[in-house]
Amino acid sequence: MNMPAVNISGGQAGSKHDRNMHPARSFRSDKSILTLNCGSSSLKFAVFNFGYEPQRILSGSVSNIGAADSRSRALNADGAVLWDEEEPSVNHPAAIDAAMNRIERAEHIGAIGFVGHRVVHGGPDCDCPEPVTAQLEARLRRIIPLAPLHLPANLEGIVAARLRLPNAQHVACFDTAFHQPAPPIARRTGLPRDIEKDEIRRYGYHGLSYEFVVEHIRETEGAHALEARMIVAHLGAGASMAAISNGRSIDTTMGFSTLSGLPMATRSGDIDPGLILYLLQEKKWSVCDLEAMLYEQSGLLGISGRSGDMQSLLGMATDPNVRDAIDYFCFQARKRIGALAASMGGLDRIIFTGGVGANAPVIRANICRPLETLFPLRLDNARNAANAPVISSNASSIQLDVLNTDEEIVIARHVAEIVEKRDAFGREVI
């Protein structure tokens, strides 16, 4: 696994400009940074040497937490497998504890002095990473209803890591922060103004992934490349798209919750609110049953009746229900591309990322081919099949890119920046 060696600046609170002022600066420590990304049933982790430009030592994951076939896997910086075994983990604390046992036995790992946590939602006023404090944890517990599928797992991870590493300094990095500067019109919900206040607004998610894409382009192509009107398609088990211009979020498919926008592995995506009312009032569904259906039983899984995993579905595409699920996903993605292009007044570039976006040529082709009659874009079949960095043809006016996202390096750099810039924890750390 070759991780991109790019500079990711904070992207929030002016940090990117400070980074560019002294790009050659580097500081060292004998401590390491651990990054944790706790999903509803998974854990992704990575370890970096602490420094102004953190260097990855290893990365890994624990999948199917809570199931009998839970599995732990890790690779070193060169892509060699360090371990890949079934390892039962009943919950996130158990998964973190087991991963830490393995990490501490790995070579070249210094004492872990810093932990960066991916947190899906930071609340309405969150626009930058924050040190984890009792006050922050209390705030996150209060806003669990804003992200009920993700925040409980995020908080479980924070508590478990703090218990395991009580002397480490913990930083929360929020997926909603990237979209905080979006235009006010893109935050509106359509509800009455006296209701649409406080926490009720459109937020947007997958911000750490979008931030990686923006800063990758800035560092590899120059700041002028960000003047393009871009749509970044983060397609995975969770899926969203964002319209980005001049490096800023203009609009995004996810809104108030992680349910909205594109259909996902088990989440419905956009659904007529009148249908929700009908199920509640006429069919007498309970709120709990409705929540379970929307978050856990819909999307690709619900339509196909087979699986929510796109890779698995592509291997079963002769099943008409599976084919219908794939077609529905691509149909909805095309619709969102058209809408996001309209929000920017045009389109210069589409970047596919996420597990599906970066690794499923068939899905990219099914999304892009019908758009060739609407936009001046042309997909190159050979480049697309090879997952090339650029998959558009030379004749295409709109550039089509494939890029593996790297949320972990974004988190690690946020940690390094927040530690370097200010005495965030009330003590000297460098």
Count of Cβ atoms closer than 10 Å to residue 101 Cβ: 11
User: What three-state secondary structure class fits 241?
Assistant: strand
Per-residue pLDDT at 112 exceeds 70: yes
Amino acid at residue number 167: N
DSSP 8-state assignment for residue 195: T
102: its two tokens: 């393995």
Q: How confident is the model at residue 191 (pLDDT cuts 50, 70, 90)?
A: very high
Taking CB atoms within 8 Å and a gap of at least 24, the contacts of 210-213 are 210/178, 210/234, 210/242, 210/244, 210/249, 211/8, 211/11, 211/178, 211/410, 212/8, 212/405, 212/406, 212/407, 212/409, 212/410, 213/244, 213/351, 213/353, 213/403, 213/405
Give me the pLDDT at residue 52, please. 75
Q: What average pLDDT score do residues 283-309 get?
A: 97
* pLDDT surpasses 50 at 354: yes
Phi, psi of 418 (to 5 degrees): -70, -30
DSSP code, position 374: T
- E strand spans, 302-393: 349-353
Assigned token pair, 156: 């479980």
CATH architecture assigned to 222-402: 2-Layer Sandwich (3.30)
- Residue 67's pLDDT band (cuts 50, 70, 90): confident
**What confidence score (pLDDT) does residue 125 get?**
84
Mean pLDDT across 356-360: 97
- Looking at residue 224, the DSSP 8-state letter turns out to be G
pLDDT category, 5, cuts 50, 70, 90? very low
- Tell me if domain 15-204+416-421 and domain 222-402 are identical in fold: yes
Q: Please tell me the predicted confidence (pLDDT) of residue 26.
A: 40
Average model confidence (pLDDT) across the chain: 90
Cβ proximity of 268 and 279 under 8 Å: no
Q: At what angle do helices 134-142 and 151-164 cross, to 10 degrees?
A: 160
What's the pLDDT score for residue 29? 57
Parallel/antiparallel/unpaired status of strands 81-86 and 71-76 = antiparallel
- How far is Cα 35 from Cα 334, in angstroms, rounded to an integer? 34
CA distance 402 to 385: 11
Q: What is the pLDDT of residue 6?
A: 30
Residue 167 pLDDT exceeds 50: yes
Ramachandran assignment for 375, one of left (phi > 0), alpha (psi -120 to 50 degrees), beta (any other): beta
Residue showing tokens 């494939």 = 402
**In the predicted model, what is the mean pLDDT of residues 78-87?**
93
Amino acid at 329: F
Tell me how far apart the alpha carbons of residues 313 and 301 are, in angstroms, rounded to a whole number. 9
Tell which CATH classification among 3.40.50.970, 3.10.20.30, 3.30.420.40, 3.30.430.20 matches the domain 15-204+416-421. 3.30.420.40
Radius of gyration of the chain from Cα atoms?
21
Q: Determine the pLDDT at residue 50.
A: 87
Q: How far apart are CA 40 and CA 80, in angstroms?
A: 27
**Statement: residue 357 has pLDDT above 60:** yes
Within 10 Å of residue 346's Cβ, how many Cβ atoms?
11
Asked if 4 and 82 count as a contact pair (C-beta separation under 8 A), the reply is: no
Catalytic residue annotation? 175
Taking CA atoms, 237 is separated from 73, 263, 268, 355, 416, in Å, by: 19, 9, 12, 8, 29
| Token couple for 344 | 């920017």
What pLDDT is attached to residue 49?
92
Is pLDDT above 70 for 12?
A: no
Residues 6+ apart with CB under 8 A from 14: none
Q: What pLDDT sits at residue 426?
A: 53
Q: What are phi and psi of 415, to 5 degrees?
A: -60, -50
Residue 219 CA: distances (Å) to CA of 20, 77, 158: 10, 21, 31
What span, in angstroms and rounded, lies between the C-alpha atoms of 127 and 172?
12
For the stretch 391-426, pLDDT in tens is 999 999 999 999 999 999 999 999 999 888 755 455
DSSP letter for 390, please. Answer: B
**Domain segments of the chain: what residues?**
15-204+416-421, 222-402
Mapping DSSP to helix (H, G, I), strand (E, B) and coil, where does residue 378 land? coil
Residue 210 pLDDT > 70, yes or no? yes
Per-residue model confidence as pLDDT tens digits over 217-245:
999 999 999 999 999 999 999 999 999 99
What pLDDT shows up at residue 424?
46
The amino acid at 69: D
pLDDT tens per residue across span 15-63? 343 443 333 334 445 689 999 999 878 899 999 998 778 999 999 999 9
Sign of CA dihedral 176, 178, 184, 188: negative
Exposure of 343 in the CB half-sphere (CA atoms within 13 A): 25
Asked if residues 276 and 289 have their Cβ atoms less than 8 Å apart, the reply is no
**How much is the average pLDDT of 135-146?**
95
